Amino acid sequence: MIKIANAPCSWGVLEFDLDGKAAGFEQVLDEISETGYQGSELGDWGFMPSVPDELRRELDQRNLSMVGAFVPVFLKDPSKHVAGAEAAVKTAKLMADAGFPDAFIVLADDNGSVKERTLNAGRVTESMGLTEEEWHIFAVGVNYVAREVKTKTGLRTVFHHHCAGYVETPLEIDQLLALTDPSLVGLVLDMGHYQFGGGDPLEALKKHQSRIWHIHFKDCHPEIAEQARKEGWDYFQSVGNGVFCELGKGAVDFSSIVAELNLQKYEGWIVVEQDVLPGMGNPKVCAKRNREYIKTLGL
């Protein structure tokens, strides 16, 4: 049975060092529960309680599950792999010890840290990508982090393709999956990032069925995406201008995606992520509308 969660990033709680004040974890969890969701992601380390019993208590009070945690690592640099794995294991252990052994480590590149990729999010070219040697290093790092997490905590790892990182386009996602161990590394298919990165998420869902262990529902506004490309906005300008709009108001064909998920008998989590900058908009209102929209899809 498919279950629906939301994530702190929908409240402006992002991994980047940005201006503005985001909501605290109590407000985020309260509003996730009040708007009809069954789970949450963890957010950055320290956003929610980092003591297992305290984390479990906060979630139980709101009848929520913990479904995953986003861990960015600068995987292009082999000197960052050990520290990245340590951070992922620490995060995975917190979720496992809190009683959520089916939660995922959502591993990603250290998005937003490379100027060229950040400036060209949604319109990167092949010349901005990794070399063959860098791809090898990157994939070795992904496998290493996932292996450490699995061995030391029992949790599984999914990789999050992401605009403003080195794995953004459909070809880059194909390359990552070809180079990583399918027994260790799954894919979290993020519909909005895949669309903004130049692909059709329905095609990706069919193509990578065996590797997709986790799903993010995010929409992408086609006019804003086109304006971002035309005016040369960087990733943060695009987000601030609403490229990731409310579900059903963008280009992602969620009806067909849900039909395909049902055909595939997908039984994992779908996590709603409507990325906003800190202090932007009214996250609770958007979360409620997004949940109501998903209900129209039969979920």
Q: Using one digit for the tens of pLDDT, what is the confidence trace for 13-31?
A: 865 454 456 679 999 999 9
Measured CA to CA in angstroms, residue 83 lies from 91, 148, 149, 185 at distances of: 12, 11, 13, 19
3-state class of 18 per DSSP? coil
pLDDT at 13: 80
How far apart, in whole angstroms, are the C-alpha atoms of residue 22 and residue 207? 37
All structural domains of the chain:
3-285 (3.20.20.150)
Give every residue of the chain whose pLDDT is below 50, as ranges. Answer: 16, 18-19
pLDDT at 279: 67
- 73 close to 81: Cβ distance less than 8 angstroms: yes
pLDDT at 281: 76
3-state class of 67 per DSSP? strand
pLDDT at 12: 81
3-state class of 126 per DSSP? helix
Biggest CA pair distance of the chain: 50
Q: Where are the beta strands (DSSP E) in the chain?
A: 3-6, 39-41, 65-73, 104-109, 156-160, 185-190, 212-217, 269-272
pLDDT at 16: 47
Share of the chain above pLDDT 70, in %: 96
